[in-house]
Amino acid sequence: MTLHIYADSAGASLLMGLEPDLLEQLAPAFQKFRAATGVRLSEYDDASLGPNHLVLLQRLLRDVTVEPVSAQAAYSALTALIERAVSAGDTLRFLGE
């Protein structure tokens, strides 16, 4: 199952999807995020993250090592997406299936 990421606006299109293999590798960061905020990010849950939560997630994702190279591209896209949202003061919606 995929975790989908959208901009938090009416009619927003899909920005990216996180596939199960990448989600598994991001799990340690997502668990720390949940411990700090109470917000669960998974393929089964929905969450909206504003800039403050995104800054924390961004910091936690820096400690993640991602393999193989194909997953590294998606990881880089995710971190760039979060960075742009933080810079713009935007909220991102994480929607499970």
For residue range 11-66, list pLDDT tens digits in order: 678 999 999 999 999 999 999 999 999 999 999 999 999 999 999 999 999 999 99
pLDDT band for position 92 (50/70/90)?
Answer: very high
Owner of token pair 């800054």: 55
What is the pLDDT, as a whole number, of residue 9?
Answer: 75
- Which phi and psi angles does 67 have, rounded to 5°? -135, 155
What is the pLDDT, as a whole number, of residue 11?
Answer: 66
Order of strands, sheet of 46-49, starting from the edge strand that comes earlier in the sequence? 14-18, 3-7, 92-95, 46-49
The yes-or-no verdict on residue 76 having pLDDT over 90 is yes
The helix (run of H) or strand (run of E) holding residue 75 is helix 69-88
d(CA 34, CA 38): 5
The yes-or-no verdict on residue 91 having pLDDT over 80 is yes
d(CA 72, CA 87): 22
